[in-house]
Amino acid sequence: MQLGLFSVGDVTMDPTTGRTPTEGERIEAMTRIALKAEEVGLDVFATGEHHNPPFVPSAPTTHLAFIAAQTERLILSTATTLITTTDPVRIAEDYAFLQHLAKGRVDLMMGRGNTGPVYPWFGKDIRQGIPLAVENYHLLRRLWREEVVDWEGKFRTPLHGFTSTPRPLDDTPPFVWHGSIRSTEIAEQAAYYGDGFFHNNIFWNIEHTAQMVNLYRRRFEHYGHGSADQAIVGLGGQAFMAATEAEAKRTFRPYFDNAPVYGHGPSMEQFTQATPLTVGTPEMVIERTLGFADAVGDYQRQLFLMDHAGLPIEMVLEQVEMLGTEVVPVLRKEFEARRPAHVPSDPPTHGSLVAQGPESTFHLVAPARAAAATS
């Protein structure tokens, strides 16, 4: 089980002080949070990608490379990489380069996660969101897996005799997750390639998340990658902790009430009941998180959102410390105890993928197509 953090990188005013961090301060805060994650024994740090204020993370590979240079074992990931508006050639090259710098400690999560106006800024059409995600990702797989690519598609200029450089580290592309909240086509896409499926989870009820995950699991089995319960699943979650529930609620309430996404809307109590948000003691967070596995089955990656809504950096670092020392060790143990032996504990890593060898299905552009051809 991999446990870690994912950040959206919002620059939000601290409602208790009225102070808004500068972009530079927020970027530095994200870096400190990632370093803290490694220090307290978390497995993953994932950064969002946005190209509009109030968000700062527009250049995830630059940021992740900087973090990679200061860490040794932390896995660096994204949440998400915009497969719709980013040229797949850029993604192929940027992340292969990052793989070399980070010695393989890299995976990434594809998403469409864009607001409408972002598409035209990059010359794309939001109504083509799903076809863009389908075509661009398929090209990305070819760029990473075929030395020389001849390609023509609908959305990008053709490629003739093109080689993306550098080649992926050890000729082994990074593992890819596909993130989707509601689009069944994306769950289908993840299942088709045998990639991971990540459900953001944090704004949704667990029943909805379970329906999406179960769809992916069923299709993963359909495409011949293993049994449904062996599919590679990741979930988001969010929490705010203190020694007592009352203290956690008192401290977090002004941040919740003014948060850009749900502030001025549902009450914190309504929201904690309807979604996985837990505001309380570390024990409560443990119990809630273990409950996710009852709903979606035994899964491989859990990421928490902890730096958002204007929480000051010192408070976030304390939260990460508590997560690393009080919550994660228990979760690791409990998740392992309940996991059946045939279900993978961890998602694929660079090491495990290299060990599988160049003939493994992971190295095929379209493993489901190959499976269909041989069956």
Which residues contact another protein by CB under 8 A? Answer: 130-131, 134-135, 138, 152-154, 182, 184-185, 187-189, 191-192, 203-205, 208, 211-212, 215, 219, 223, 261-262, 264-266, 270-271, 274-275, 366, 368-369, 372
The residues facing 177 across adjacent strands are 109, 196
DSSP H or E segment with residue 303: strand 301-305
Q: Which of 73, 245, 276, 77 is nearest to 177 (CA)?
A: 77
Rounded distance between C-alpha atoms, residue 41 and residue 38, angstroms: 5
Q: Which of 21, 107, 1 is nearest to 313 (CA)?
A: 21
Minimum CB separation of residue 140 from another protein in Å reads 12
Closer to another protein by Cβ: residue 184 or 361: 184
At how many degrees (to 10) do helices 282-296 and 328-338 cross? 30
What would the two tokens of residue 234 be? 């990741």
Minimum CB separation of residue 132 from another protein in Å reads 10
Kindly report the number of other CB atoms within 10 A of residue 294's CB atom.
11
Rounded distance between C-alpha atoms, residue 57 and residue 62, angstroms: 10
Rounded distance between C-alpha atoms, residue 308 and residue 10, angstroms: 6
Minimum CB separation of residue 125 from another protein in Å reads 14
Minimum CB separation of residue 149 from another protein in Å reads 12
Q: Which of 253, 202, 234 is nearest to 298 (CA)?
A: 234
Rounded distance between C-alpha atoms, residue 319 and residue 119, angstroms: 35
Rounded distance between C-alpha atoms, residue 145 and residue 163, angstroms: 10
Closer to another protein by Cβ: residue 169 or 176: 176
Q: CB–CB of 133/83 below 8 Å? A: yes
Minimum CB separation of residue 74 from another protein in Å reads 30
Minimum CB separation of residue 78 from another protein in Å reads 21
Minimum CB separation of residue 44 from another protein in Å reads 24
